[in-house]
Every structure is written in structure tokens, then in C-alpha cells.
Structure 1
């Protein structure tokens, strides 16, 4: 399968957006769009007057429980004059300031991911959520080399096992067939001339 792949292109979906909370607090920031995140998350760096208590639970990708006590339900994500209303969970230990997850992606469906960013049509307008970084392309030649080396190593191990099996089989065959029938078959090889002192 690896021999069919020549290169991999990947990108981090960091975009610039404006967030408006309850029409009174405005924040221009960089956010990460993460299709694995089930909810939209924001660090607890927002004014507490916007907080609402919540009992929702949130886990990291490696199933660690994140500390969640509050949410903000009246948040607008604005880009190119279009605002999309979303709810955010406030997370204390978030490495990235803001994460737009599956809830956001569901609203902008259908969308296309291109080199320059994510494009969608909202209210009959084409909108681009432009990526801050260009996609990175990596050649797979090194991966192919490692794969071929591993395959070669496995074949060598199998060959060595087959040789060892053949040698053990030959040894057992000699012991069982030749040595058992002719008890003195190799006796002449072990003869020594010894002179005894009492002769």
C-alpha cells in the first residue's frame, strides 16, 4: 500500500476570526478548527459576567477529563461580514485559546478544504476561512525505504529460521537413522593408540 503513496500533504487549520460575545465583547484571535473536537472550546480568559453554569463533561483525545464548569451560549463567530452563532465550553487547561469543533463544522456544511482554506456558502455568499499557514507536503521515499528495510529484515529472519529448522532436522535424522542402527559407525574416528605402562 505504501508503494502507491508518493507524498502526504497536511496542514494545521489555524484561522483568524472575530468572536463577539453577547454583542458587547469583541475579540480578534487565531483559532484552531479541529474536526475531532466534539464541542467548541475556549480558555477561561473571558469576563465572568458571560459565564453560565454547565454540567457538560469534556475529555481530551487520550481520555483525560478536562475541568469544565461554565459555558457561553451567545457567541458569534464572524468572518467576512457573516456571523455564525455558537456555544462554547470554557476549559481551564486548554493549550490553544479557542477550538472550533464539530458543532461549527456542522453549521458550515457542505464545505471544501483547499490549499488556501475552508470554503463554504452561507446565505448565498461564498466565504473563505483562510488558513494562516500553507499546507506542508512530505515525500514518502524515506517511509518506503524503512518499509522495504523492515520487509527485508523479516525475510532474513524467516530464512534463518528455515536454515535452523533444516539443520536440526538433518541432525535428528543422522542420530535416529545412522547412529541407532550402526552403533560403531563412527568408532574408527575416535580410536587412539595408547601404550599402557604394564605391558
Structure 2
């Protein structure tokens, strides 16, 4: 590979026994082609490695799901079957390890999808519950409002839903005359002490005509037992 394609990198690489390899450069935009299909990858350049090229975990992540067979790794890309053959005859133990790894990864991918679906439906259920709760609150508010209007405020004269609903004006009947209202007078018996007290106040002008619209006439009955007679007619 010409050195003009080398790029500095800080990536690290180690062997299976955790020994660090010397890594200084990497090559990007490398295409791995097989059966007319090319897969873009980047490679780390290692100076102390006997094998020419190793396709590791990043390559397997791109081609999964895949199957491990005796002749190599098979997968489908764009509905086309591709076989990546092994450089050396595989050991049975290594093939079984790759099979286990493939099944393990597939299981966890499916498990993640199941969890994602469960989370999605849980969010939908929570959203629906919130909406249902909001509708119930609105129904309760409307019910309370109607109850106040119909059962509490309907008998009040100044209810703001039906202003002046209970306001009426006189007279109730045709040919109504105020003087025809039947009134009664109520005599109030006065004691000697109270009679003496009123006479004194009248003489001293302590009791005089009132200009109040709520005033009414009072008649002093001197024959027999002294009594005050109050005419309530103006108050009616």
C-alpha cells in the first residue's frame, strides 16, 4: 500500500493474549469486494503481525446475520449470497465458537428489538391513560358546572347565567291601584311611664316629623287606655 494513503491514528490493537501491537497508521476507504459486491472498511496497519489481513469484528457487524460453515462465512447482501472463505482450514473448536458468537449476537439483537417494542407500547399506553384522565377531569368539571347552574344557582335572583331571570315588575294584575292594598293597623298599649316620657319629648320637640322615605304615621289614642296606632300601609 503506498504510504500516501496512510493516516495517523491513536487506535489500539491487541492479540488474543492481551499483548499490545504496534499501531501507527490506518488506511480508510478500503473496499472489500466479493461476488461483485463491495463493502467499505478501514484497516489498522500493524508492523508486528504475521498474517496479511484480518477481517475482525467491524466486518462481521456489517455482514450479519451470517452463518458459519466449514468452507467459510456465508451471508446475504442485496438478496445475493456471498461466501467469505477461510485462508486456512478451520479447527472445529473455532467454528463452534463462531457459531456460538453468531447465535449469541442474534439473540441479543432480537431481545433489544423486543424491549424497544415493549417500551414503545408502554409509552403509547401512558399517553392514552393521560388523555383519558384529562377527558375525565373535563367531564367532572362540566358536570359540576351543570350541577351548580341547575341545583344551586337556579333559585338565586342575580345568577349570572340567567341575569334578571327572576326579576319582575309591578303591578301583577291589570287595573291595579296602590290604594287597594289591604293593610292593618296594630295598636301598641302604652304604660303610664312610657306615656309620660313621650309627652315630655313632644313638649321639648325631641320628637319631630321625619323626612325618611321609610317613615310612617303614628296615632296616639288617648281614650281609654293610652295606645299608639301605627299605620304600616306606606311600607307595603
Using the size of structure 2 for normalisation, the TM-score is 0.37
Q: Relative contact order, CA 8 A, sep 6+: which one is greater?
A: 1
Higher helix share: 2
**Higher Cα radius of gyration:** 2
Higher strand share: 1
Using the size of structure 1 for normalisation, the TM-score is 0.43
